[in-house]
Amino acid sequence: MFNIGFSEMILISVVALLFLPPEKLPDIATKLGRFIGQLNHSFNDIKSSMEKGMRAEMNQIKTNLPPLPQLSKQLKNEPSTTKPDKPTDVDQPPR
């Protein structure tokens, strides 16, 4: 989740030993572990609710779309609107 390697863990440990009293390290490590666990749980809850909402939206879109062969026929029969009939300023050569 945080992509912390071995060298980063050693650096964090050395800094913690320098700035924190040794008798408080187990308590701080426990609190930090709980905080990271709660943060991870919150991210998983958000992710699952987003996936659930997206899944519902995709199912609604799929039910409202016509079948693919019918959609393909409709697109082939419609006139192309990719190029405008009259040129725009972008199409004109520079003066």
pLDDT tens sequence across 39-74: 999 999 999 999 999 999 998 888 887 777 777 787
What are the respective helix, strand and coil percentages of the chain, to the nearest 5?
Answer: 70, 0, 30
Degrees to nearest 5, angle at CA 11 with 40 and 16: 75
> What residue has token string 């405008």?
84
Give residue-wise pLDDT tens across range 84-93: 556 565 656 6
Residue 5 has pLDDT above 80, yes or no: yes
> Comparing 45 with 6, which gets the higher pLDDT?
45
